[in-house]
Structure 1
Amino acid sequence: MASEHPPISAPTISDVAAAAGVGRATAARTLGGYGSVSAVARERVLAAAERLGYRSNILARSMTTGVTNSLGIVVADIGNTFFSGLIRGASDAASARNLDVIVISTYEDLAAERHAVGVLLDKQVDGIVVSSAAVGAPDAEHLAEATRRGTPVVLIDRLVPGLHLDAVVVDNRAEARRVTRTLIEAGHRRIGFLWGPTTDTGIDTLDELLTVNTRSLWSDAERLRGYLDALQDAGIPYAPGLVTTGAKTEESAARAALAMLQSEDPPTALFATEAEALIGALHAVQDLGLSYPGDVSLVGFDDTSWATVMQPPLTMIAQPVDAMGRLAVEQVVSRIGSPEYEPRLHMLPAELMTRSSIGPPSRVPGAPTASAGKA
């Protein structure tokens, strides 16, 4: 049945102006936050707007001022605790500056990222923070185009080689080197590396691995370089069977860790480059009836709260996610105010949270364990 009462229309700027006893232009300048308005007129307009329940038309205001007071944040996976931490820090920093935030998750899909950036540009956001899936400048033309259109873009967590933009990251190479060196100092020589990138080809040599690395996300590539740096520093030769690709999810990492631990010469330690990969490694260790650090040492990237309640607690690299998110927003705001300065790279320190999941190797390298060959 149709309503007997006509819909109530939202109050307009003209309604507010009439209620305040001022001209429409004065009301528009007051509500839009631009131009010069006397204190008396401003007070009357704001009081009238509140009395009428007026809500500003952000799009219309942006057409006048060129500002929407909004930022876009594009991340790989909003459900990942690392990215949710980045978003929380960024949102807090934006809120402190009276900026609204639009968050879009792309699940590492470059096409989805391009679409997300297009949506944000259509909404005329004042700046964009993005954890990009691009592995090089040719993949990131959408980000370069955004900057050419005058929308500042700040990279977070990952650089894009060849793309000269503001960025907030940690030194992934140095941190991976530190983790691997810590395992080596504990006596380990066979260190399994559960790595993220996927490849359709086998990796039998170091040259093949380095070729795959050129097609990897910057953070993944840097972590592999850090691992290889530490091995080289210690005079430990690269062992193809100890680096596995496609280990970004719990399931894929569990399969990779099982294959390593059931090999004829299994690793005595596992270094997972993603928090999800470390969970997969834990499943593999449990499925084989092994313990850590007694049978195999474990360490991972991206510290989380659950790592501290495991028994024993897990050693992890903790990235300063809150600070990274906050700094990225500060960088966007700074770029809006001064678009002419050179892009800035902020490389923040991470922290190795040393707990109880690293111990000495339980066997001599080359000697098979009881778990080798298990179904």
Structure 2
Amino acid sequence: MSAKGQGAHRGRGATRSPAARYESTRSEPVDDGWHQEEALPPLRTRVTEERPRRVISRNDSPDVPFELSINPYRGCEHGCVYCFARPSHAYMGLSPGLDFETELFAKTGAAERLREELARPGHVPSPIALGINTDAYQPVERRLRITRDLLEVLAEARHPVTIVTKSALIERDLDLLAPMARAGLAQVAVSITTLDRELARRLEPRAAAPQRRLETMRHLSEAGVPVTLLMAPLIPVLTDGEVEGLLAAAAEAGAVAAGYVLLRLPLEVADLFEDWLRTHVPLKAKHVLSRIRDTRGGQLYDARFGRRMVGEGAYAELLRQRFRLARRRAGLAGRMPELDLSQFVPPRVPTKDGQLDLF
């Protein structure tokens, strides 16, 4: 465990920082009898800039509806304790726990790399999913504007884009997204886990409040941007009772479709989530974990394609049918409109002297 310790840090999701799985040494906290009940010191967020060689990632998973994606940031200050991306921090020798939400990496120069990749003769347009591994609208995006710069390149190239976010900051970019949406080039999914503000504050402490996200959905819809509700994750016992209410609220806010992802707990996330349960909802912890195992073949996670997003078994099937019926009642059973791939125009790339190539 890192020196950041363990316990409930104000404004942070994880309760501890387990060692990265590739590290050769580990440490564990020991109660020496001198422990006192006092608030843990606040943790500062540190942002490290990195210059990527390329920014477009290619995906061949049958579980997700996109082939191309861009992640402007590594790590996520929103601090969602359940985030499936947490284990990726281990590749940099950092903890998937508190390090994931306090040690961020910003891909400066990403827009220039995107311009170069889109301009290559072999590029075949396909909707680019922006901010999939971690949210493209981090709090630091207000200052760094990496996502904004990427959107400007995509708008110039008339390249289709999809975005999933928990942040109201996306409203800043409506001047780009609204015209793109009118041309069939943009759509957005707003992720909402619960309408319970107190639960959300503990589950996803630095994301926008649930009611603020509904307001964001309304603003996107009013601007002509197709928006869908993504209930991600759907957490057995903790949030599964909110399906009907959340779908109705999203429909009222202007959503045109809805989907869900059953809670995923890969690698270190399982232990982090279990610790979170025992810290924040100790009386429900055993019940939640039991229901998760009911949907994962007796385990806390099943990585198989076709199962990892929705689970299996009687309880998972009950959730699936219930969500489908509630979605139909809310008028959200339709599909998002297809994005237009025919308008793509390769962007111009500056020459070595900084001038744009006219041909």
TM class, shorter-length: 0.3 to 0.5
Larger Rg: 1
Q: Give TM-score scaled by structure 1 length.
A: 0.32
Larger relative helix fraction: 1
Q: Give TM-score scaled by structure 2 length.
A: 0.33
